[in-house]
Copies of this chain bind each other. A is one copy, B any other.
C-alpha cells in the first residue's frame, strides 16, 4: 500500500476497540542490512510466520489482488493459521462471484461438450458459487464464519476497513462464546 504503516496503525486501533491486540507484519523491526533481496524476503517470511504463531486468530483481506483470487501470501497465511488450529475470519471489498471474476480474467473462454466452461489453457472454471478458491472459503466456513463482502470504490478497494470491522465483531462474538485457551 502507499502508506502501509498508517494502514496497519488504523487496523490496530480498530482491533483495540474490540478488545484485541492487532499484530501487523511491519510491527517487527527486522534488520535487513547487508542481506540480498532474497535473504531479506526469507527473513520477512519467517518473521510473519512467527507473528502468526503468537496470534489467537487471523483476519484476512481476501479482496482479489492481481488476478481473480486473493493475494497468494494471504492465502498462504490463511492455510498456515488453519494448520495451527486458529480461527480464520475474512473480508473482501469485491462482491462479484469468483467464477464470474475468473471468467473475466481468463478470456477467451469456451464451453466443453459437457457444458462446463474452460479457459484458454484448457483448465476448467468451476462454478461453485463461492467467493474465492474453495480452500480459502472452506477455512472461513470451518471457523464458523463467512466472508464479509461489500463493494467499495476502486480507490478504496484495498484500504476500506468496514469489512475488517465486521470481522472484528464476528471474532469478538466467537471468543466471548468460547474463550481461547491461554
Contacts and interface: CB of A to CB of B under 8 A. Distances in A.
Interface of A: 1-2, 36-38, 40-42, 44-46, 48-49, 65-73, 75-84, 102, 105-106, 118-119, 121-124, 127-130, 132-139, 141-142, 154, 157-158
Nearest to A1: B123
A45 B76 contact: no
A134 B35 CA distance: 15
Contact of A133 (B71, B134, B158): B71
Nearest to A71: B133
- Among A37, A46, A83, A102, the most chain B Cβ lie within 10 Å of the Cβ of A83
A124 B137 CA distance: 27
Each complex incorporates copies of this chain amounting to: 2
Given A73-B135, A79-B79, 7 more contacts: A2-B122, A37-B128, A45-B141, A49-B142, A78-B79, A79-B81, A123-B158
A49 B65 CA distance: 24
A79 B72 CA distance: 10
Q: Which 10 A-B pairs have the closest CB atoms?
A: A83-B83, A67-B67, A45-B138, A79-B79, A79-B80, A69-B72, A76-B79, A75-B75, A41-B128, A41-B134
- Among A38, A45, A122, A124, the most chain B Cβ lie within 10 Å of the Cβ of A45
A141 B42 contact: yes
A134 B42 contact: yes
A93 to B, nearest CB: 12
